[in-house]
Amino acid sequence: MFAQNDGCLSPGQWPRIELEKEFDQHVFACVLSCALKEVESGEATATQSTGLSRAELSDVLTRSFPASAIKAFTLDDASEPEPDMEEELLRGLLLAHARPGDPGSARFAKIIARRAMRNDHLWQDLGLFNRAELSRLLATHFPTLAEGNTQNMKWKKYFYRKLCEAEGFSLCTAPNCRECSDFESCFGPEEGESRLMRVKNGIALD
C-alpha cells in the first residue's frame, strides 16, 4: 500500500517551491514501509519500529494514508515505545533543534532517534531513496542542527559528535579530522541501495 505513495516520488522530481507537507508525507511513507515489513516479519511492532506512540502513529496514518493501513499495523497489539538511554539522548538532541511548535518535527525526532539504532546509513534506516533526502529532512525540521554539519560528515557520526560535545568530551584521538586514520568512516560516501529497493529486489535485510 505504501509503494503507491513511493512510486511517484523519486529524487529530483520535486518542484522548487513544493509544499513541505508532500515531502513529509513521502518520508512517512518510506518509514512506514520499512515498519510494515518489520511488523509482518515479527521483528518489531509498529511502535517499536517507529518510536512513535500508538496515538501518534494512528494520527499519522489517519491523516495521510488509506484506512486499511491502520489495520495492517495492528496498533491494538502494540505497546508504547520505551527508548533506551542512547536513543533518549539522540531524541533530546533532535528535539532541542526542532522547529518550535511543529508536531511534525517532534515526531520526526522520535522516528530518527529510533531508526538510528539500526546498522545501516541513516537514510537507509529510514527507507529513504538517498542521503540527499535525509539532508533535506534535517534541514527542514532541524535547521540549526543541520547547519552545523559544514564538513558534510555522515549524519550518524555528526549526531554523536554533537552529543559528545554537549557532554564536554570527544571520542576522537586525532588532533583534527584530516589527520585521522579513520577519516573514511566519518566522511566517506554513503552509498548503497535503499531498504525499499532491497525488499523489492528480494534481498534479505540484516
- Please give the model's pTM, rounded to 2 decimal places: 0.78
Q: Alpha-carbon distance 117 to 76, whole Å?
A: 24
With 0-12 / 13-18 / 19 or more C-beta atoms within 10 angstroms meaning exposed / middle / buried, residue 163 is: middle
Q: What is the DSSP letter of 173?
A: -
> What does the pLDDT profile of the chain (206 residues) look like in tens digits?
454 444 433 334 444 435 578 899 999 999 999 999 999 999 999 999 999 999 999 999 988 787 777 788 888 877 888 999 999 999 999 999 999 999 999 999 999 999 999 989 999 999 999 999 999 999 999 999 999 998 888 899 899 888 888 765 555 543 444 544 454 555 456 665 655 555 555 544 44
C-alpha cell, 141: 525540521
